[in-house]
Chain A
Amino acid sequence: MRSTILSILAAAAALSLSAPAEAQEKTLTVYTYESFISDWGPGPKVKETFEKTCACKLNFVGVADGVALLTRLKLEGKSTDADIALGLDTNLISEAKATGLFEPHGLDASAAKVPGNYSDDTFIPYDYGHFAVVYDTQAIKNPPKSLKELVEGDPAQKIAIEDPRTSTPGLGLLLWVKSVYGDKAPEAWAKLRKRVLTVTPGWSEAYGLFTKGEVPMVFSYTTSPAYHMVEEKTDRYQAASFTEGHYIQIEVAGMLKGTGDKDLAKQFLKFMVSPAFQDVIPTTNWMMPAAKTSEPLPDAFNKLVQPAKTFLMGSDEVARNRQAWIDEWLTAMSMN
């Protein structure tokens, strides 16, 4: 029995992992999130362009999302194979640094310009997006014009949001409400709760409900409509512009201490803020580029909501308070 089991396992492992023979050239391993390396994501093009310049092999390892990426690094600790972690957001940076796995890049990263002039000695931004309520123009004629209007609006017009315990957009909304309402956040959540159709574990489920017409509003990004305009040629889905301003998600990458080839890792980080990389971002990752692109962005991007004000909490503050704020959210949301 034991040997049968083992041989089946061995066969299974061999069948699904018939890895190609390793080439003898240098490799750079980049941990990132799954949608970055999907057929539709930036990954394939980034790989092709970078490999032309580096005489190396770029090896992507994809996990579910930014949070899973950090968890994966914590699990692997010092023995990680990663040279670069790409896809954490600024809310996670303090926790990422606390692992002691990352090393300051020591590069001039001034090419990367994001709202609020965020900069860091360890992590370099590669794209950003403002969170926004995206709505279906066929279902909603008068979208909320502020967070206050969203909170206090007609409870019959529902929104799907993400769970801050399991997703980065969910955490983004939590921090946005906190930024605007401060100590009054629990009251705001208690009101908003009546408008919330459902809280999903991640962005995919919420956006799926939205595009199915199940819910007229969803918590997403100001850049989401660009996808529909560019790929589906429709103006139907739009982001609502909020007068208080929008919370931002800045996606960053950093170099790991254990990387075998620091020069190669730095070369990648530099490449990341060059036009060759940045050109790919808008229409594959559907986020705003963090540095200059060689061509102007597609027209659709000019039609997107341009937030008047950007909210961003320091990552130390987020790390310190996240648990307490999530508890606050849980209490407010589970009141009957």
Chain B
Amino acid sequence: MLTRAERRRGIGWGLLSLTGIALFVGVAIVALLSWDAGNAQSRLFTPYTWRILRFTLLQAVLSTLLSVLFALPVALALARRPSFPGRLWIVRLMALPMGLPVLIGALGLIGIWGRQGVMNSLLLKLGLEQPVSIYGLSGILLAHVFFNLPLAARLLLAALERLPAEYWLLSSSLGMKPFSVFRFIEWPAARHVIPGIAGLIFMLCATSFTLVLVLGGGPAATTLEVAIYQSLRFDFDPPRAIALSLLQIGITALILIAISLLPAPDDAGITAGRATRRFDGRTLPARLWDVLAILLATTFLILPLASIVGAGVQANLWSLVNSPAFLRAAWTSFTIALSAGLLAVLTSLAIIAGRGAIADMKRPGGTARAFSVSLGGTSSLVLLVPPVVLGTGWFLMLRPFGDVARFAPALVAIINMLMALPFAMRVLAPAVETHRKRTARLSASLGLSGFSRAWRIDLPVLAKPLLTALSFAMALSLGDLGAVALFGSSDLTTLPWLVYSRLSSYRANDADGLALILGIICLGLTMIGTTGQREAKHG
């Protein structure tokens, strides 16, 4: 389908992004490895290391299972009820936890599920004694489900919405019972995307840091990520940090490789979906079940957010927003988030172009296939290299060239870009691929290529997924604290950093207020990213 030049260009883009990412990660690791650690005590594999490795995997597996398990009925219910009141807002709401800074999410969860929280007081009144503990394993699981159930539900919903309308027509004319509909239509569609979703969530949970540290309750429940952070932050023992990172990468990469061979789930259906009429689920029990599933999930999501709002409005929001510190931090955050977002989108497009070019080959050789797989893997592999490792490595690298503070914003932006890449890819890849399939012949027959094709044919259709990916990446970057933590200085204060700094000056009230403002900004971004859905539904 592609011309020879286009294919070459695609492979070129792919190679470029692959080398770029590999270089960025590689340089950091080499810089750390070549650091003269002197008499650093590199005790790599103590029994404790194995213990936290076991716990890391255990909590990640459980979190993943629970998130997907609970997301399935919610996605099925939402797919069955296209005109559920407030459905659009529920779907938007589900994009919010991803972009929410983890510390803020944790505080919100504590407000609801904590010892003084709404839920426990309620259950206490019902005669149960301290029924839910948010600390320890149960707390970590609860929080991970809060952050990942919505993600899983959105991706599942997208898969379900892509089912052709004819399926529903056919199932209805065959008089299929709900169980048969599930077995022959819904489940195959879900099964197709579940491995990819599970893989993504597994990685997010395996590398979870702040959440595990705040809610974990202590050393009994802690992850490898904490050990890596500590060996750099406190001991400054780069060889140990690298060894632990390699251990983390090695184990999770095995899972990733398995996943990269499976089809990637995508978020495209939500934006590109057309109206489908469903004929099933009209009985009263079915309706009640769906309403229950949607309401429970929505309540579960909305309560911690409401708790953030509740705490936030008690601060003097107006003077916070007008303070020079806030304006400076907001500007810094915005600049970094925009750079990271644009970079993530551009890199995703380059990777997609590379993979597209390989897919287009009639008989791709082994090298080409390996290249395609590594392109797919690279976009996710970066999730596994802790930001603190990347940051420290680059700090060492750039130090001889002058004040690192000058490079810090760019570094933070790149690290944030890497963190957002897997999500941007999941939004863009299917959208671009579908679009290419539809328009390849047309463009060829019109003789359009390069810039004019991008402008006239691609942009109008791809604008929405591009915007979704951009806003998603920006929200992720806005909420990030990890990358900034190393460079964080008076020159580089972001909004989450400001929240921390207020907390450490006893200004908990201000911190609550700032958290609320940050949450609102993230909500705004997700709204931008999901605009046009209403139109699409009615289109």
Q: Tell me the A residues contacting B by CB distance below 8 Å.
A: 1-2, 4-5, 8-9, 11-13, 15-17, 34-35, 37-41, 60-65, 67-68, 70-71, 74-77, 79, 81, 158, 163, 165-166, 193, 196-205, 207-209, 211-215, 224, 227, 231, 286, 323, 327, 329-331, 333-336
Contact = CB atoms under 8 A, between A and B. Distances in A.
A306 B489 CA distance: 35
A336 B136 CA distance: 12
Given A62-B490, A75-B392, A336-B220, A286 B332 contact: no
B339 interface: yes
A12 B233 contact: no
Given A12-B339, A61-B490, A215-B115, A199 B219 contact: yes
A300 B537 CA distance: 63
A207 B410 contact: no
Contacts of A211: 508
B219 A329 contact: yes
Contacts of A63: 488-489
Contacts of A213: 116
Contacts of A204: 500, 503-504
Given A68-B233, A212-B116, A331-B48, A12 B410 contact: yes
Nearest to B417: A5
A282 B489 CA distance: 23
Q: Size range of the interface on B?
A: 35 or more
Given A81-B403, A193-B218, 14 more contacts: A1-B16, A5-B346, A8-B339, A12-B336, A12-B410, A12-B413, A38-B504, A39-B325, A75-B396, A197-B115, A199-B216, A200-B214, A205-B103, A224-B506
Contact of A212 (B404, B409, B508): B508
20 contacts: A2-B16, A12-B336, A15-B331, A16-B409, A16-B492, A17-B491, A38-B504, A40-B507, A61-B491, A64-B485, A75-B396, A79-B399, A79-B400, A165-B226, A201-B213, A207-B506, A214-B114, A227-B506, A334-B218, A334-B219
Contacts of B503: 204-205, 207-208
A71 B236 CA distance: 6
Nearest to A202: B504
Nearest to B337: A12
A68 B507 CA distance: 22
Contacts of A68: 233, 485-486
B83 interface: no
B216 to A, nearest CB: 7
Contact of B335 (A12, A65, A67): A12
Contacts of A330: 48, 219
Contacts of A61: 405, 489-491
A214 B214 contact: no
A9 B410 contact: yes
A207 B218 contact: no
Given A68-B233, A203-B504, A231-B506, A197 B217 contact: yes
Contacts of B181: none
B505 A35 contact: yes
Given A165-B230, A207-B506, A16 B236 contact: no
A323 B116 CA distance: 36
B404 to A, nearest CB: 8
B34 interface: no
Contact of B490 (A5, A37, A203, A336): A37
Contacts of A333: 218-220
A207 B236 contact: no
Contacts of B511: 208
Given A39-B323, A39-B325, A163-B213, A334 B504 contact: no
B135 interface: yes
A279 B456 CA distance: 67
B229 A198 contact: no
B451 interface: no
Contacts of A231: 506
B210 A214 contact: no
Contacts of B20: 2, 5
Contact of A4 (B51, B111, B213, B346): B346
B22 to A, nearest CB: 14
A12 B343 CA distance: 11
B491 A35 contact: no
B74 interface: no
A196 B221 CA distance: 13
Contacts of A165: 226, 230, 234
B213 A8 contact: no
Given A8-B343, A212-B107, A166 B500 contact: no
B236 A74 contact: yes
A40 B501 CA distance: 10
A304 to B, nearest CB: 15
* Top 6 closest pairs, chain A to chain B, by CB: A204-B503, A12-B339, A199-B218, A334-B220, A40-B505, A333-B219
B91 interface: no
Nearest to B490: A62
B191 interface: no
B490 A71 contact: no
B371 interface: no
Contacts of B489: 34, 61-63
B110 A196 contact: no
Interface in B321-337: 323, 325, 331-332, 335-336
Contacts of B486: 68
Contact of A34 (B311, B392, B488): B488
Contacts of A224: 506
B313 interface: no
Contact of B505 (A1, A41, A202): A41
Given A8-B343, A9-B413, A212-B116, A16 B501 contact: no
A8 B218 contact: no
B95 interface: no
Contacts of B423: none
Contact of A60 (B413, B490, B505): B490
Interface in B222-239: 226, 229-230, 232-236
A201 B114 contact: no
Contacts of B500: 34, 204
B350 to A, nearest CB: 6
A79 B404 CA distance: 11
A215 B490 CA distance: 32
Contact of B508 (A1, A193, A202, A208): A208
B419 to A, nearest CB: 16
Given A166-B230, A207-B503, A214-B116, A198 B135 contact: yes
Interface string B404-428: 1111011001100000000000000
B46 interface: yes
Contacts of A163: 213, 219
Nearest to A335: B220
B177 to A, nearest CB: 47
B395 interface: yes
A71 B339 CA distance: 28
Contacts of B490: 34, 37, 60-62
